Amino acid sequence: MISADLSAFEDVRLWIFDLDNTLYPRPETMWQRVHVRMQVFIMDLLGVDQQAAEEIQTAYYRKYGLTMRGMMLHHGVDPDVFNAYVHDVDISEIQPNPDLGRAIAALPGHKIIHSNANREHAENVLSRLGIGDVFDAVYDIRTSDYVPKPAPSAYDRVLTESGGNPAKAAMFEDIAHNLKVPHALGMRCVYVPTDCDWSSLGADGTHVHFIAEDLTAFVQAIAERTAV
């Protein structure tokens, strides 16, 4: 039972969903495989040990929003090569969620993905979830010219490409501070909690309008409220 007042969604016609840790709870073992591959890439490229690679990985992620961005800026790494390498992992632990797919499909208007990952990873995940056909478009890190959320230009690029009106848009995100720009643009902002403490920083701010503890139930409730 969703107790929040969902009337704010009645005029929304663009539904923007982040991917990883938002549409599904990313399995810890899957994340660890990605984590290790990032470190191996850094170790091989820079000739450093595992501890130094982990420090570089973490520092770039916190400074730029993506480790990849730091590798591009400081080491001239091709982002497509980096992404192809680090996302080459088994994702079979992700469980299909047809109920979420049906709920998203029932929302009025356009439904899109806005992810800091690449399209190949996004499409693999959506296929595994069994919900790829409910989205009108996938906007990946290439769409924003490899500048990740929360940079304002990343959101601007997606809005331009989708032709969406932010005043009639809603954004669903697992990283609370990634909702600051959508809030400033006039979107309805939904935070999807995870077990990552870093992602929850700022979740009590005014840029978080709703908290969806259970994304499927939350979207189902919105779909029922906005049904025409």
In angstroms, what is the C-alpha Rg of the chain? Answer: 17
- 6 and 222 Cβ atoms separated by less than 8 Å: yes
Question: Which CATH class name applies to 28-86?
Answer: mainly alpha
Residue ranges covered by each domain of the chain: 7-24+96-226, 28-86
**Residue with token string 């570089």:** 56
- The shares of helix, strand and coil residues in the chain, as percent rounded to the nearest 5, are 50, 10, 40
Q: How far is CA 157 from the centre of its chain?
A: 15
CA-wise closest residue to 177 among 200, 193, 144, 155: 200
**Alpha carbons 132 and 85: distance in angstroms, whole number:** 23
CA distances from 74 to 44, 157, 217 (A): 15, 24, 43
Within 10 angstroms of residue 40's Cβ, the number of other Cβ atoms is 14
Give the SS3 label for residue 154.
helix
Walk along the chain (228 residues) and give the pLDDT tens digit of each residue.
Answer: 466 789 999 999 999 999 999 999 878 888 899 999 999 999 999 999 999 999 999 999 989 989 999 999 999 999 999 999 999 999 999 999 999 999 999 999 999 999 999 999 999 999 999 999 999 999 999 999 999 999 999 999 999 999 999 999 999 999 999 999 999 999 999 999 987 777 878 888 999 999 999 999 999 999 999 876
Question: Is domain 7-24+96-226 classified as CATH 3.40.50.1000?
Answer: yes
- 160 and 137 Cβ atoms separated by less than 8 Å: no
Give the SS3 label for residue 4.
coil
| Max Cα-Cα span within the chain | 59
Check residue 4 and give its pLDDT: 76
